[in-house]
């Protein structure tokens, strides 16, 4: 298995999350190339089952399961690949601007 070894930066705050999705209720856009906007991170959490996460640049394929979430970096094209039954959601975080 190819698991990601990344964590969210310390200077982010949660702003939203998707509802729980399954292989039958997944938002179609998640299966196609897309990216988060500048300064916004995603955090893909698998509750049951497994899926694959693909970075478009370089084609790296990562495995995600209940013990191995995925940090989605801003402005990097990616998509999700279903491999069977799964329940997952995605949390979204934004960088906190430092006061000057």
- For residue 49, the Cα-to-chain-centroid distance in whole angstroms is 15
Nearest to 76 by CA among 52, 53, 57, 98: 57
pLDDT above 80 (res 100): no
The pLDDT score that the predictor gives to residue 96 is 86
pLDDT digits (tens, 9 = 90+) for 13-52: 999 999 999 999 999 999 999 999 999 999 999 999 999 9
What average pLDDT score do residues 4-17 get?
Answer: 96
Domain range list for the chain: 12-95
Residue 38's alpha-carbon distances to 3, 30, 35, 45, 86, in angstroms, are: 24, 18, 9, 21, 29
The pLDDT of residue 97: 78
Name the CATH topology of 12-95: Jelly Rolls (2.60.120)
Instruction: Tell me the pLDDT band of 99, cut-offs 50, 70 and 90.
Output: low
Question: For residues 56 and 62, is the Cβ–Cβ distance under 8 A?
Answer: no
């Amino acid at each position: 298995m190819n698991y990601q070894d990344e964590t969210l930066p310390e200077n982010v705050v949660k702003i939203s999350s998707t509802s729980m999705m399954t292989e039958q209720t997944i938002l179609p856009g998640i299966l196609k190339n897309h990216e988060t906007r500048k300064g916004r991170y995603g955090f893909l959490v698998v509750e049951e089952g497994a899926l694959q996460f693909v970075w478009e640049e370089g084609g790296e394929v990562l495995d995600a399961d209940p013990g191995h979430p995925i940090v989605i970096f801003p402005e990097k094209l990616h998509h999700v690949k279903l491999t069977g039954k799964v329940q997952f959601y995605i949390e979204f975080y934004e960088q906190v601007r430092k006061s000057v």
